């Protein structure tokens, strides 16, 4: 959508929480670690790393481990407001910027059958909080207060600003060095 040429490369890192780590700090740390691992493997590339967590009642909802867990997460979110914290890091060589974006999201009220039907699509199984705003999960959302793209997992405006901090310019044709 932004006319950026990119490859998706996995970063094999340990995603466990550190003791007493806040959700926003966790997402930002993982984004940084992902970006730096890939930047080390591709030192001439401009690398973006990101990580997203869903927070409700001071609990972090990661990716569900089972369909039952996904249904339970959705029922916990239904009819309520929660926060999505997305960490983003942009690395070029050894230089790395890392920030985070926090968005408030409200789910509409729905019944258990709706949660089960959504989980049956398979969409929630690899998503923090067991939903994807860019897919069928959009039907569960009443409103979003903040960057929609951060809920998807990539805060676009923040990323472009970070590119600029590293000396790049986005011009709708892609990126060019300033």
Burial of 93: CB neighbours in 10 Å, binned 0-12, 13-18, 19+: middle
Record the tokens describing residue 118, joined without a space.
Answer: 């959504």
Of 79, 110, 90, give the one whose Cα is nearest residue 45: 90
Residue positions counted in the chain: 178
Of the residues 51, 68, 126, 147, only one is catalytic, namely 51
Record the tokens describing residue 158, joined without a space.
Answer: 């923040």
Does residue 14 have an active-site annotation? no
Say how far apart CA 145 and CA 151 lie, in whole Å. Answer: 10
**Residues 23, 78, 117: CA angle, nearest 5 degrees:** 110
Positive or negative, the CA dihedral 62, 4, 11, 87 is negative
Phi, psi of 96 (to 5 degrees): -145, 130
Q: Strand 81-92 to strand 175-177: parallel, antiparallel, or no bridges (unpaired)?
A: unpaired
Q: What are the residue numbers of the active site?
A: 51
């Amino acid at each position: 959508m932004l006319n950026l040429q990119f490859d998706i490369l996995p970063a094999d890192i340990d995603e466990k929480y550190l003791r007493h780590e806040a959700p926003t700090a966790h997402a930002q740390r993982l984004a940084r670690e992902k970006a730096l691992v890939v930047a080390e493997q591709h030192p001439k590339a401009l690398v973006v790393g990101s990580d997203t967590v869903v927070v409700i009642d001071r609990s972090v909802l990661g990716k569900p481990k089972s369909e039952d867990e996904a249904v339970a997460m959705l029922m916990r979110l239904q009819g309520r407001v929660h926060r999505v914290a997305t960490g983003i890091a942009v690395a070029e060589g050894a230089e790395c910027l890392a920030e985070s974006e926090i968005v408030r999201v409200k789910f509409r009220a729905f019944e258990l059958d709706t949660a089960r039907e959504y989980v049956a699509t398979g969409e929630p199984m690899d998503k923090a909080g067991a939903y994807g705003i860019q897919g069928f999960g959009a039907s569960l959302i009443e409103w979003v207060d903040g960057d929609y793209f951060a809920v998807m997992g990539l805060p676009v405006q923040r990323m472009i600003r970070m590119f600029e901090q590293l000396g790049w310019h986005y011009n709708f044709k892609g990126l060019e060095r300033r």
